[in-house]
A and B are shown apart, each in its own frame.
Chain A
Amino acid sequence: MNPEAIKVQNLDKHFDDIHAVDDVSFTIHTGEIFSLLGPNGAGKTTIIGMISGLLTPDAGEVWLMGNSILENPKLAKAKLGVVPQEIALYEDISAQANLNFWGKMYGLRGQELTSHVDEVLALVGLEDRGNGTVSKFSGGMQRRLNVGIALLHKPRLIIMDEPTVGIDPQSRRKILDSVKQLRDQGVTILYTTHYMEEAQELSDRIAIMDNGKIIALGSHQELIEIVGELDRIRLTINEKSLNVIRAWESLGGVAKVTAEDETINLFVKDSNQVLPDVFETAAKENVRITGVDIQEPNLEAVFLHLTGRALRD
Chain B
Amino acid sequence: MKIIAIAIKDLWRAFRSFFALAFMFGVPILMTAMFAFLFGGIGGDEPEFNIPRTDVVIVNQDEGSPLVSNFEIDARNSFSTMGDMLVDTLQQETFKDLMTLTTAKEADARLAVDNQQAGLALIIPAEFTNALIGQSNQLVEIEFYQDPDLSLGPQIIQSIVMSILDGFSSGSLTLDTVTTVLEDQGVILNQVEKMTLLSNLTAGIETQQEVEDTNLNIITPTGISNGSDQANPLQTILRSIMAGMMIFYAFFTGTSAAQTILQEEENGTLARLFMTATPTTTILNGKFLAGFLMIIVQVIVLLGFANLVFGIYWGPLMPLLFASIGLVALATSFGIFVMSLVNSTKQAGIIFGAVLTFTGMLGISSLFVMGTPIEETFNYLPLLVPQGWAMNAFEASWKGNSVQTLLYTGGMLVLAVLFFAIGNARFKKRLN
Q: Are A88 and B16 neighbours in the complex by a CB distance under 8 Å? A: no
Taking CB atoms, residues of chain B closer than 8 Å to A292 are none
Q: How far is the CA of A109 from the CA of B5 in the complex (A)?
A: 11
Q: Are B268 and A105 neighbours in the complex by a CB distance under 8 Å? A: no
Known A90-B9, A92-B17, A104-B2: A77·B267 in contact at CB below 8 Å: no
Chain A CB within 8 A of B374 CB: no
Q: Main SS of chain B's interface residues?
A: helix
Taking CB atoms, residues of chain A closer than 8 Å to B276 are 77, 102, 105-106
Chain A CB within 8 A of B187 CB: no
Interface residues of A in 208-228 (CB under 8 A from B): none
Chain A CB within 8 A of B37 CB: no
Taking CB atoms, residues of chain A closer than 8 Å to B13 are 90, 92-93
Chain A CB within 8 A of B192 CB: no
Q: Are A104 and B277 neighbours in the complex by a CB distance under 8 Å? A: no
Chain A CB within 8 A of B293 CB: no
Interchain CB contact (< 8 A) of B275 among A54, A86, A97? A54
Chain A CB within 8 A of B96 CB: no
Closest Cβ of chain A to B274, distance in Å, is: 6
Q: Are A101 and B9 neighbours in the complex by a CB distance under 8 Å? A: yes
Interface residues of A in 72-90 (CB under 8 A from B): 73-74, 77-78, 80, 82, 84, 86-90
Chain B CB within 8 A of A52 CB: yes
Chain A CB within 8 A of B278 CB: yes
Known A105-B2, A105-B276: A86·B9 in contact at CB below 8 Å: no
Closest Cβ of chain A to B243, distance in Å, is: 32
Known A73-B277, A97-B12: A88·B1 in contact at CB below 8 Å: no
Chain A CB within 8 A of B272 CB: yes
Known A77-B276, A101-B5, A106-B276: A88·B271 in contact at CB below 8 Å: yes
Known A88-B267, A93-B13: A105·B278 in contact at CB below 8 Å: yes
Closest Cβ of chain B to A138, distance in Å, is: 18
Known A90-B13, A93-B16, A101-B5: A77·B277 in contact at CB below 8 Å: yes
Chain B CB count within 10 A is highest, among A74, A88, A89, for A88
Interface bracket on A = 20 to 34
Chain A CB within 8 A of B214 CB: no
Known A74-B277, A77-B277, A93-B16: A88·B9 in contact at CB below 8 Å: no
Closest to B5 in A: A104
Interchain CB contact (< 8 A) of B269 among A54, A90, A106? A90
Q: Are A88 and B12 neighbours in the complex by a CB distance under 8 Å? A: no
Q: Mark A52-69, 1 if CB is under 8 A from B, else 0.
A: 111000000000000000
Chain A CB within 8 A of B273 CB: yes
Closest Cβ of chain A to B238, distance in Å, is: 35
Taking CB atoms, residues of chain B closer than 8 Å to A80 are 275
Q: How far is the CA of A74 from the CA of B9 in the complex (A)?
A: 23
Taking CB atoms, residues of chain A closer than 8 Å to B16 are 92-93
Q: How far is the CA of A88 from the CA of B271 in the complex (A)?
A: 9
Interface residues of B in 247-300 (CB under 8 A from A): 267-269, 271-278
Taking CB atoms, residues of chain B closer than 8 Å to A87 are 268
Q: Mark A25-69, 1 if CB is under 8 A from B, else 0.
A: 000000000000000000000000000111000000000000000
Q: Mark A172-206, 1 if CB is under 8 A from B, else 0.
A: 00000000000000000000000000000000000
Q: How far is the CA of A52 from the CA of B272 in the complex (A)?
A: 10
Known A78-B277, A93-B13: A84·B5 in contact at CB below 8 Å: no
Interface residues of B in 57-81 (CB under 8 A from A): none
Taking CB atoms, residues of chain A closer than 8 Å to B268 are 84, 86-88
Closest to B9 in A: A101
Q: How far is the CA of A54 from the CA of B270 in the complex (A)?
A: 10
Q: List 30 A-B contacts (CB under 8 A).
A: A52-B275, A53-B274, A54-B275, A74-B277, A77-B277, A82-B272, A84-B271, A84-B272, A86-B268, A88-B267, A88-B268, A88-B269, A88-B271, A88-B272, A89-B269, A90-B9, A90-B13, A90-B269, A92-B16, A92-B17, A93-B9, A93-B13, A101-B5, A102-B276, A104-B1, A104-B2, A105-B2, A105-B273, A105-B276, A149-B272
Chain B interface residues (CB < 8 Å from chain A): 1-2, 5, 9, 12-13, 16-17, 267-269, 271-278
Given contacts A78-B277, A92-B17, A102-B272, could you give 18 more A-B pairs where the C-beta distance is less than 8 Å?
A52-B275, A53-B274, A53-B275, A54-B271, A73-B277, A77-B275, A77-B277, A82-B272, A84-B271, A84-B272, A88-B267, A88-B271, A88-B272, A90-B269, A92-B16, A93-B12, A105-B2, A105-B5
